[in-house]
Chains A and B, each alone.
Chain A
Amino acid sequence: MKEKPHIIRVAAAASLLWGAGCATTETVTESVTVHYVGSSTVAVFLSEAESVYPGLHFDLDTAPESAGGERAIFRGEARLAGIATHPSAETLNAGIASTLVGRDAIAVVVHPDNPVEDLSRDQLRALFRGEITDWSQVGGPELAVTPFVVAPDSATHTVFQREVLGGQAYGEGCQVARPDRGLIELVARTPGGIGHISFGFLHGEERVRPIAVDGERPTVTNFEYPIARPLYLLHRPGDPALDGFLEWVDSSAGQRVVMRHFVGKRVVGEVGATEAEVATGTLIVYTRREPVYDGGIYYYPYTAYEVRKRYGELFRRVPNRRGHNDERPTRVELPADTYLVVAESAPGEKVEFFVRIEAGRVTEADVEEILEERR
C-alpha cells in the first residue's frame, strides 16, 4: 500500500511573538506559509525554528525525504526544500541557491537493555551486511541481531551506506523504516535491534540508546564523530520572505536553534560573539585558473570570487590576483565569521560553499576539491 505523505502542520506557535509585535507597533505583520518538501532531519530544525522566528509557517512534507526535496525544488513544486547531503551540480546550475544549516551526526542506536557501548565501523559494516548475526560476536549477550535501516529515499540511508558499508549493499535481513522517525519505535520494540538515524531525532529520546562509533560519541559538540553529513536548505533566490529567514539561520540566534540537535556551522564558543569581540582571520581560495598570454608565455592566474555574508548580500569581491601575471591566490583578511563563497567552477558556472574564518588563523578552500567531493 502506498503510504500517505507524512505532513506535519505546525500550529502558529509564533502567535505569542506576533502578539508581542502588535503591542509595540501598529503594523500587523501577515504570516506567510511556506511549502517545504524534503529531508525529515532538516524538518526537525524547521519545526523548532518556526516557534522562535516570527511570521513564517512551514507546511512540512517529509515523506519524499532528501531526494524528493531536491526534485521538488528543481521542478518548482516547493518553495523550500531540505536535503541531508550536498546539493547536486545540476541543482546549483539551475540557479537554485543552497544555504548550509549545520551538520548532522548519524547515530547508531540499540535497544536500551543492550549493554554494548561502542562498535567499530568494521563491526557495523558486518552487522548491517548480515555477516554478524548474533550480539555475542561483538561482546554482547547471546541474542539475534535485527538490523533496521531508514528508507533508500533518505540521505541517512545513502550516507551511512557510503561511510560505513563502503558503498556495498545492505544485508537482505535489514528491515526498512519509513519515515525515518519510525526507526526509533522499531528498535525500541526489538531487544536485538540496531538502527541508524539522524542524531536530531534523539533529543530527549529514551526509548533507544545511541552508542559510540570508533570510540566517539555522537554529540552536538563532537567534531570527531565519524559519521556526519551536511544539512542544506534549497530555495529560489529573491524570495523576500525566505531571505530574512535564511539570514536568521546564519545568525547566532539561528545557530543556537540548530545546535539543539545538530553540529552548528560555528564552534560553540563563537556562537553569540558580538561584533566588538570579532577579530580577523585569513582566507585563501584556490579557484579555477585561466590562461593569460603575455609575450609568448602563458600565465595561469586564479579567477575572481565573491564573499557574501548571506545569500544576496555581497561582502567583498576578490580578484584573487594582483595583476595578470600573479599565479598565487590572494590572502584575504576577513572578520571572524562564517561566509558564503561564490566562485566559478567553469566559465560562467558557479559553485557555492561556506567557509569559517577564525581569528588569527588561515582558512584554505580548493574549488576543485569541493567539486570532487560533491560528485
Chain B
Amino acid sequence: MIRLIAMRELRSLLSQPSTWFTLALLQFILAWFFLARLEAFLEIQPQLAEIANAPGVTAALAAPMFNLIALLLMMLVPMFTMRSLAEERRNQTLPLLLAAPVSAADIVLGKFVGLLCFLILLSGSVPLMFYSLSFGTALDHGLMLANLAGLLLLMASFVALGLYISALTSQPVVAAIGALAALLGLWLADIGATASDSPWRALSPLHHFEAFNTGLLDSGDVVFFVLFSGIFLLLAMRRLNNNRRYG
C-alpha cells in the first residue's frame, strides 16, 4: 500500500510542468556552480601542490557543493510538499483514501516515500557530477558517502516537516509558506545563535548536516534526523486521524 501511494505521489509530481521547470533550473544552477568551483580549484592547484596535506578535489568541491544544495532544498522542498495533503483536501480527493482499506500511517508514509524518491531524483545529478571526475583523478569516497548520507537524512527531515504542515491546511500556498517559514526559522536559529554551543543550534537540521558535510558521521546527528522526521510523520498521521474526528 505504501509503495502504491508513493508511486502515485511520484507520478502526480512528474505530471506537473512546474516540477520539470524547477528540475531543469536546479540542474543548471548546480552544474554552473560545480564548473565554477572546479575552475577555481584548477587555478590554485599549483599552489596547493606545494603544501603538505593540501585538500583534495573532493574536499575542495564537495563541502561547498553539498552546502549549496542543502540550502536550495530548504527553499524548494516546501514547493513540493505543499501539494501532497493540502491539495488532496482542497480537491476533495481525500475521501478516496479515507474510505479505502488503508491506515493513516500508510497514507502519510506513502506520500513521504514518494516525495523522498523524487528528491533523490532531483539531487541525483550531484554525485554523478563528482563521479565524472573519477575519470581523471582519485576521489575521496568516504567524504562523498558521508555527504550523501547526510543529504538523504536532511531531505527526509525537510519532507517530514513539509508533509505535516501540508496536513494542517487545505490551501497548498499556505502549506508552502508555512513550511518555508518553519525551515527558515530553524535555519536562523542555527546561524543566529551567537554561542557555538547554544541549544538553539541543536534544533536546526542544517546544523546537524554540518558534520556530515565535513565527512564526519556522528551517531548523535543520525539520531536527531530520525527523531525529527519520525515526530513530524507521527504528527501528520495524527492530524489525518483527527480529520475523521473533526471533519
A is bound by B: no
Binding site for A on B (CB under 8 A): none
Give me the interface of A with B, judged by CB distance under 8 Å: none
